[in-house]
Amino acid sequence: MISIQENFDTTPLSSFKIGSEARYFVELKNKKDLPELFKRIKKSRLPYFILGGASNLLFCTKKYNGWVIKFAPRGIKREANIFQVGAGDLLSRLIQEMARENYGGLHKLIGIPGTVGGAIRGNAGSYGTEISDLLLEVEFFDVDKMVFGVFKKTQCHFEYRSSIFTSQKNLIITTAKFSSEKENREELEKEMNKILEQRKSQPYSKYSSAGSIFKYVNPEEIKDKEQRRVLVHEYQEKTGLKNIHSIPAGYLLGKIGLKGKQIGQAMISREHGNIIINLGEATAKDVLTLINLAEIEVKDKWGICLKKEIVCIGL
């Protein structure tokens, strides 16, 4: 039986602690209920949104006149070196379970908040690892055809922070399988603890945020060759890297002095130019104003159109 809650406050679910009052909210405990649920949704003619860990999104309106759907955790199963996990299970839980069984490969993603489904959809990554690296296959529900299907990794069209599931919103991730290899448990835990400590040591980690706001930038987008040469050279000097294929948006925002910029109760972190923090009572309007300011100033300075990594709901 599908339980539907009306006028549901999503604020507690949001890592930004900025939410909306959703017309309908459903926590789906059984993927088999998807066809029945979407019959109701189509009949209502209202929009819908699949909520993962709400760690990289911003609810942009006080009231969301639509459906918010969240998958309940289903647990993790292992057969030999194959791990099967539901879309609603936390990514951190999967990584910890793999490490307990002496399996690595995704351990560098520890500390990334959110669910497995959300991480796959946006091809989450950190420290040179992406969740797609170990992925075998993804089961999904096609809202348009009202059928379940399975994609192998190559069919998911993974790219930097995107996949077929970001471009084809009718495909809803339900389950995933990962293949891993055995590693030394002590070494895995040592590296995981080091990464977690690094994340916790950042001053902005004390505040509510939605992680990175913008995607990395390709310097080739800068049409002015001299501007491009200078920017790349400066970034090489700062990082010690020789071959520069992309530059963090936060580096650009720092160069134009936007670190620490505050609108209302929202502020671009003084330590990380690509993080906007909620100082306590930030509104969606505060955050969107900062995002718009960053986009305008980077475009004016280098001619680059920043691409959002954060998902905005209700715009």
Residues 195 and 201: their CA atoms lie apart, in Å, by 10
Residue 40: how many other CB atoms lie within 10 Å:
14
Active site residue 212: yes
In a 13 Å sphere around the CA of 92, the CA atoms on its Cβ side amount to: 11
Length of the chain: 315
Name the β-bridge partners of 140.
149, 173
Instruction: Please tell me what DSSP assigns to residue 22.
Output: E
Residue 99 dihedral angles phi and psi, to the nearest 5°: -65, -40
> Rounded to an integer, what distance in angstroms lies between the CA atom of residue 91 and that of residue 134?
13
- The catalytic position among 132, 180, 212, 269 is 212
- Whether the Cβ atoms of residue 204 and residue 269 lie closer than 8 Å to each other: yes
The yes-or-no answer on residue 309 being catalytic is yes
Sequence-ordered list of residues with C-beta below 8 angstroms from that of 6, at least 6 positions apart, any chain = 23, 24, 25
- Pick the catalytic residue: 161, 209, 269, 295? 161
Please compute Rg for the chain using Cα positions: 20
Place of tokens 């390709």: 218
Residue 52: DSSP 8-state: S
Beta-carbon neighbour count of residue 312 at 10 Å?
Answer: 16
C-beta atoms surrounding 41 within 10 Å? 19
Active site residue 78: no
Q: Rounded to an integer, what distance in angstroms lies between the CA atom of residue 198 and that of residue 176?
A: 29
Positions marked active-site: 161, 212, 309
